[in-house]
Amino acid sequence: MVVLAAAAAGAAGYGVFKGGEAGVQKGKEYQKEIKLEKKRFGQLVGLREKTKNRSSRIAEIVQMKNSGGSTTTAAPVRTSFVERQLAEKEAGSDINDRHRAVMQKLRSGRQDEKRKSSSSKLSSLNPFKKK
């Protein structure tokens, strides 16, 4: 009888242990789902904002097309599409200048490496040079 009670207590303890492991796994799954849901919600907010901006730009372009290229006074005071393009081009020119400078520096570094490697190749071919 005592052996049977001990076996039952051991089985109950094992069951509680396994149940605890399963509970922890479920908790981890729910936590992961919550994180993913928060991420999706953040992406959805960003997508809505982009959609709103895009639709306003398209409406502006359609309005310009319908009015022959000039905006009407009923339009909200905003920068025109052409002005935004010019501003982006000016901002991009700084980036382009910086890119050109970096690429020039890389080219000069590569040329220096080529000169060094070619001089070392020539010196390795010289039979009279001590090594």
What's the pLDDT tens digit per position in 46-88? 899 999 999 999 999 888 888 875 555 455 556 677 777 777 7
Longest dimension (CA), the chain: 99
How far is Cα 84 from Cα 53, in angstroms, rounded to an integer? Answer: 13
User: What is residue 78's predicted lDDT score, i.e. its pLDDT?
Assistant: 66
Over range 116-130, report the average pLDDT: 66
Q: Tell me if the pTM is above 0.75.
A: no
- Return d(Cα 51, Cα 53) in angstroms, integer: 5
67 secondary structure, DSSP code: T
Query: What mean pLDDT is predicted for residues 96-110?
Result: 85
Rounded average pLDDT over 89-105: 78
* 3-state secondary structure (DSSP) of residue 74: coil
- What sign does the CA torsion over 61, 63, 68, 70 have? negative
Average pLDDT value for the chain: 79
Residue 118 structure tokens: 């070619």
